[in-house]
Structure 1
Amino acid sequence: MDSLDLQVLTEARRWFAEGRRVWLVTVLETWGSAPRPPGALLALRDDGQVVGSVSGGCVEDDLIDRVRHGERVATPALVNYGVSKEEAARFGLPCGGNLRLLQEPLSSVAWIDELLARTARHELVARRLDLSSGSVTLETASRGEAFSFDGHTLRALFGPRWRLVMIGAGQLTRVLAQMALALDFEVICCDPREEYHLGWDVPGCRFSTAMPDDLVVELALDPHSAVVALTHDPKLDDLALLEALKSPAFYVGALGSRDNTARRKERLALFDLSPGEIDRLHGPVGLHLGARTPAEIAVSILAELIAVRHGVDLAQKKTGSAVPPLRAAELQQA
């Protein structure tokens, strides 16, 4: 999920604690080319201040105007935009798109407290809202579930941010960390070598000086986690990869040539890994883009991460790569 939703809830909770009246607005359904998907969330304060987005256009302005002119719903209420081409154009919905929203008053933040605590523990949580009563309950969710609305009950998913763990703090890692942060990953860099970690200065990236395999075990990697080994040092890379390949991490990769990858797989086979677990290793890491500079290589790595995350064909892999051009869904089932 996008951490923007968690930011919306965090800000809504703060406003509520300050004594302000707050409404949550959720995208229920879209038709045509509406800009935001079902489940997108916005919080609206009684003075018109907003956080989040449901359209990226003039819909937010209309919601603000309604509140400022006294239209303040006391129970969950449906709001429709773009029922005609003229209205769609007025509210900035392209190609005649339509947008159906749910606006609800925030009457308690206890469920927000629990939801934020659970997602911080890397749990995937579903929020169930009963429209008739306005009651909210939280449920454990499973990966692969989607937002749903049946006319009476809304069920929205909230989960941990996608997490990238990088082994080694070289120049490539620095660029990769900055790009991954821009893509909304939670980024962790691990390097116990003093000459590397003393100069690390990437804001927003957590740095660990633990042994990489110890950190991988400590993090208890989940299906929202990715691990990329970048040191070229088997003592650091291989043990971390050993633990990562046994985990549910959605992506495990290592920098190196095809020959180095083949030798790495031979070393990993000496440990308690199954052939299927070893075959999960992405190597050479990244898509084949002709990348040469650290920034270009970082783009190729993140392009592969995003493709695997979204189940897109890995068509641009080098011939002879450890992971051949297969569907990402097949990779996750291996």
Structure 2
Amino acid sequence: MDSADLNVLRSVLEWRRAGQRVVLFSVVQTWGTAPRAPGAMLALREDGVVIGSVSGGCVEDDLIARLHDGRIASDGPPVQLITYGVTREEAARFGLPCGGTLRLTEERVGDPAWVAELLARCEAHEIVARELNIATGEVLLTPASPADSLQFDGQTLRAIYGPRWRLLLI
């Protein structure tokens, strides 16, 4: 896991333990050219503080605007899907290069116990799969292997965290 992702999760845990409402955004799919790969995360606190990144900046600005104008509700479904760049005009408006499209989960973080467990397991050098049920918001943590990768079928997001090989020198 990138240290940036660890910092996002650490901030989510700290903010929730302090009683702040937090929304976690994760890139689940991209089409065409996209600034961040699937698995990239951004956490948005109820006062507009942001950590992480899901794009080159314009999508982040829109997520903050969604918070301020009430499009991110504190009630309703625990997880929603958001798509950016569906039309050529929208891709240009949000700064998505080459007409790319980006799909995100918008997940209200309730009980942060899964975050604490995920961080502890990563710090213990375990590879962990986090399965997010889109309909219910339920999170399940299971062991994973270095060969596993992010999967999204529209119903479940399965993201892999923990140490994996990134560079092979011969």
Q: Bin the TM-score by the shorter chain.
A: over 0.9
For 1:220, the equivalent position in structure 2 comes to none
**Partner SS, residue 71 of structure 1:** coil
Stretch moving more, 70-79 or 93-102: 70-79
Distance 1:68 1:119 in 2: 33
SS at match of 2:29: strand
Residue 57 (structure 1) shift: 2.2
Aligned partner of residue 128 in structure 1, secondary structure: strand
Task: Give the paired residue count.
Answer: 167
Distance 1:130 1:17 in 2: 23
**1:31, distance to aligned residue in structure 2 (A):** 0.9
Structure number with greater CO (CA < 8 Å, separation at least 6) is 2
Q: Deviations over 1:126-152 (max 9, x none)?
A: 100111111101000001110011010
Tell me what 2:135 maps to: 132
Q: What is residue 17 of structure 2 aligned with on the other side? A: 17
The TM-score, its normalising length taken from structure 2, stands at 0.93
- In 2, Cα distance between the equivalents of 1:16 and 1:56? 26
Alignment deviations for residues 294-324 of structure 1 (CA, whole Å, 9 cap, x no partner): xxxxxxxxxxx83x17xxxx5xxxxxxxxxx
In structure 2, stretches of 5+ residues that fail to align are: none
User: Percent identity at matched positions?
Assistant: 54
Map Cα deviations across residues 240-291 of structure 1 (whole Å, 9 max, x no partner): xxxxxxxxxxxxxxxxxxxxxxxxxxxxxxxxxxxxxxxxxxxxxxxxxxxx
Alignment deviations for residues 177-229 of structure 1 (CA, whole Å, 9 cap, x no partner): xxxxxxxxxxxxxxxxxxxxxxxxxxxxxxxxxxxxxxxxxxxxxx65xxxxx
Contact preservation (8 Å) 1:124, 1:142? yes
Q: TM-score, normalised by structure 1?
A: 0.48
Give the whole-Å Cα distance in 2 for the aligned partners of 1:142 and 1:123.
9
Kindly indicate which of the two structures has a greater share of residues assigned to helix.
Answer: 1
Q: Which residue of 2 aligns with 1:98?
A: 101
Letter of the structure 2 residue corresponding to residue 128 of structure 1? E
The yes-or-no answer on 1:112 pairing with 2:112 is: no
One-letter code aligned to 1:31: W
- In 2, distance between residues paired with 1:19 and 1:79? 26
The 2-side partners of 1:11 and 1:80 are apart by 25
Which residue number in structure 2 is paired with residue 32 of structure 1? 32
* SS of residue paired to 1:48: coil
CA–CA separation in structure 1 for the residues paired with 2:15 and 2:69: 20
Q: Where does structure 1 lack aligned partners over 5 or more consecutive residues? A: 161-222, 225-304, 315-334
Answer 1 or 2: which has greater strand percent.
2
Q: Give the secondary-structure state (helix, strand or coil) at the position aligned to 1:95.
A: helix
Query: Aligned residue for 1:155?
Result: 158
Q: Which residue of 2 aligns with 1:217?
A: none
Q: What secondary structure does 2:65 align onto?
A: helix
Question: How far apart are 1:64 and its partner, in Å?
Answer: 0.3
| Aligned equivalents of 1:84, 1:72: Cα separation in 2 | 22
What one-letter code is carried by the residue in structure 1 that aligns with 2:120?
A
Q: CA deviation at 1:2?
A: 1.1
Structure 1 runs of 4+ with >6 Å offset? none
Matches within 5 A, 1:1-334: 1-73=1-73, 74=75, 75-160=78-163, 224=165, 306=167, 308=168
Distance 1:100 1:72 in 2: 16
C-alpha distance in 1 between matches for 2:127 and 2:55: 25
**How far, CA to CA, are the matches of 1:119 and 1:155 in structure 2?**
16
